[in-house]
Amino acid sequence: MAAKLILSMDGSVLQEYVLSKERMTVGRKPHNDIVIENLAISGEHAAIVTILNDSFLEDLDSTNGVMVNGTQVKKHFLQNNDVIEIGKYKLKYLNEVQHQANGADFEKTMVLRTPSAAPAADNKTLAQSEPGIAPAQTAGNPAGAANVAAKKTGDATVVQKMVPPAAVQILTGANTGRELDLVKNLTTLGKPGVQVAVLTRRPHGYFITHVEGANYPSLNGRALDEQPHPLNNHDIIELAGIKMEFYFKD
Amino acid sequence: MKLQEALEIASQTHSGMVRSHNEDSLTHDAACGLVVLADGMGGYNAGEVASGIAVSVLSTEIRQRMDEVRPEDKSAEGEDMGVVLLRENVKKANASIYSAAQNQPQYSGMGTTIVTALFYDNRVAVAHVGDSRMYRLRGESFGAITRDHSLLQEQLDGGIISPEDARVSKNRNLVTRAVGIEADVIPEVHVHEVCAGDIYLLCSDGLNDMVEDEDIGNTLQMLQANLPLAANQLIEMANDNGGRDNVSVILVKINGDFSVPRGWLDKLQSWLKN
């Protein structure tokens, strides 16, 4: 479960370290958690601070610096498979939670219980203050987590499937010939308060939906209803008396 | 304007693209200005049970209490009664979930986040526990008006993690407060002024974990003329982005002034109007 660092040099693995402590140090001197006996390494070279599933790397003002994936860093939020370079040594950061999160079973929401629960008096001050100045509670004891229970939840991974680029071209009225690229997930057409339709870009294509107005837009001469309708190449949309054509750009 | 006319409400909930069942619960009642959204946690169906208890306690109790007290009245401590009603009843929900979890082994450890709001007298009182949120769109500006009770929020507040890094943090699933986990809970309650044209969004983290705030704001801005469509669009966006969690939204649009008549003339006028 816990994240690991794999120490290697010139492609051969020397040692594996589990990030079991909240703070682990890397350096030449023997009191470090990860000792690398090499003159290019400072006495205390770097530290890795782990808060539950997240680890942060920090350069402890070392003489020769720290690189992550080829870039010099002072402080870095470690991501799975990051390669930390210290002198000729490499430390590969592996965070198993990532693999789990990608699998069918994903992480569960848990409640962190702070042993010293907030005093009841804090409630009153909170009730009066705006959120911007709500007092920050201490994170308590992150390593010694938590009671509780499974609220399965999504993580930050955003699955952005690509849909081919598309546009609408205005065919009638004052703006005839104007082209509108559909570069956003939502594009509204029409006059607010009179008649508005929205074109939505979704992973499986483009759709048109009526938003407001007594009249509904029509698609290839047929009036739409409340439901979204998929758009096909060269469909003709008519909205507030203006005709336009939907088409894919390549 | 009567509360019921001033508030336009739309809501939708969906189990998402991965989960087989929906542990979110929600309810709304424009007549008494109440909206409640809860996101349950716990094994088997315990999450649904917890969020269901929270929603039903809040809505039944507050409706009942509003026969006797007005939310705009002041308590002995000088707080709006609306604040007191929300706080007391979140605590009541906490007690009933906690006792159900204590008494029935299959519900052990269940709990729920909650965000609930009471609209009265051109104001809104908002109570929340955990990481369910309330956002506000006012004119061009859109943002959360609740602050998650989560480890990540605490790290952000403490400057331990930057907002950019927070997006890829693996600690986003840890809440520091929940309803029903301990014998007592402290809900966070705030009162905000309400303006005509405002749109309020209550949502479970299934929305804001999958859709960037900016996209949520743009969607509300563009589709504000059609609230049910906006709600539906938000759910679709969460699902199109992976839909890894249950996703629920309640939208409240303020169509006009709902201040409580104060002077005798005001009262007479409003009596004549009704």
Chain mean position to CA A176: 41
* Residue A181 tokens, joined: 């690229």
- Chain B contact probe: residue of A76, A94, A111, A128 with most B CBs at under 10 A: A111
Boundaries of every domain in chain B? 3-147+177-259
Ordered mean pLDDT values, 10 residues apiece, chain A (250 residues): 87 90 93 93 93 90 94 92 93 72 50 51 32 36 36 40 86 91 91 91 93 92 91 94 91
A136 with B154: Cβ contact below 8 A? yes
Chain A residues in contact with B100 by the CB 8 A cut-off are: none
CA–CA distance from A136 to each of B45, B58, B149, B152, B167 (Å)?
33, 27, 9, 11, 20
Q: CA of B153 to nearest chain A CA: how many angstroms apart?
A: 9
Closest CA to B110 of B177, B38, B43, B205: B43
Chain A residues in contact with B241 by the CB 8 A cut-off are: 158-160
Amino acid identity of residue A122, one-letter, is D
* Residue A249 tokens, joined: 């750009």
CA A112, CA B177: separation in Å to the nearest integer? Answer: 7
Q: Do the Cβ atoms of B118 and B85 come closer than 8 Å?
A: yes
Chain B residues in contact with A123 by the CB 8 A cut-off are: 87, 186
B167 with A156: Cβ contact below 8 A? yes
Q: CA of A98 to nearest chain B CA: how many angstroms apart?
A: 8
> pLDDT: is B48 or A144 the higher one?
B48
- Runs of H (alpha helix) within A72-158: 96-102, 122-128
Number of residue pairs across A and B with CB atoms under 8 Å?
200
Topology at the third CATH level for domain B3-147+177-259: Phosphatase 2c; domain 1 (3.60.40)
Q: Do the Cβ atoms of B201 and B176 come closer than 8 Å?
A: no
Residue with tokens 């929340």: B128
* Residue B131 tokens, joined: 């990481």
A211 with B157: Cβ contact below 8 A? no
Cβ neighbours around B182 below 10 Å, total: 15
Classify each residue of A219-247 as buried b or exposed e, where b means 16 or more C-beta atoms within 10 Å of its C-beta: beeeebeeebbebeeebebbbeebebebe
- Give the model's pLDDT for residue A29: 94
Report the relative pairing of strands A23-27 and A34-35 from DSSP bridges: parallel
CA A174, CA A152: separation in Å to the nearest integer? Answer: 52
DSSP letter (8 states) at residue B150? B
Q: CA of A196 to nearest chain B CA: how many angstroms apart?
A: 9
User: What interface predicted TM-score (ipTM) does this complex get?
Assistant: 0.81
- Give the model's pLDDT for residue A2: 80
Nearest beta carbon to residue A147 from set B40, B168, B181: B181
pLDDT tens track for B233-265: 999 999 999 999 999 999 999 999 999 887 777
Please give the angle made by the CA atoms of A15, A19 and A23, to the nearest 5 degrees.
Answer: 120
A window 106-165, beta carbon within 8 A of B: 106-114, 117-118, 120, 122-124, 126-127, 129-131, 134, 136-140, 142, 145-160
pLDDT tens track for B217-232: 999 999 999 999 999 9
CA B77, CA B106: separation in Å to the nearest integer? Answer: 40
Report yes or no on whether pTM surpasses 0.90.
Answer: no
| Farthest CA pair distance, chain A | 80
Classify each residue of A101-117 as buried b or exposed e, where b means 16 or more C-beta atoms within 10 Å of its C-beta: beeeebbbbbbbbeeee
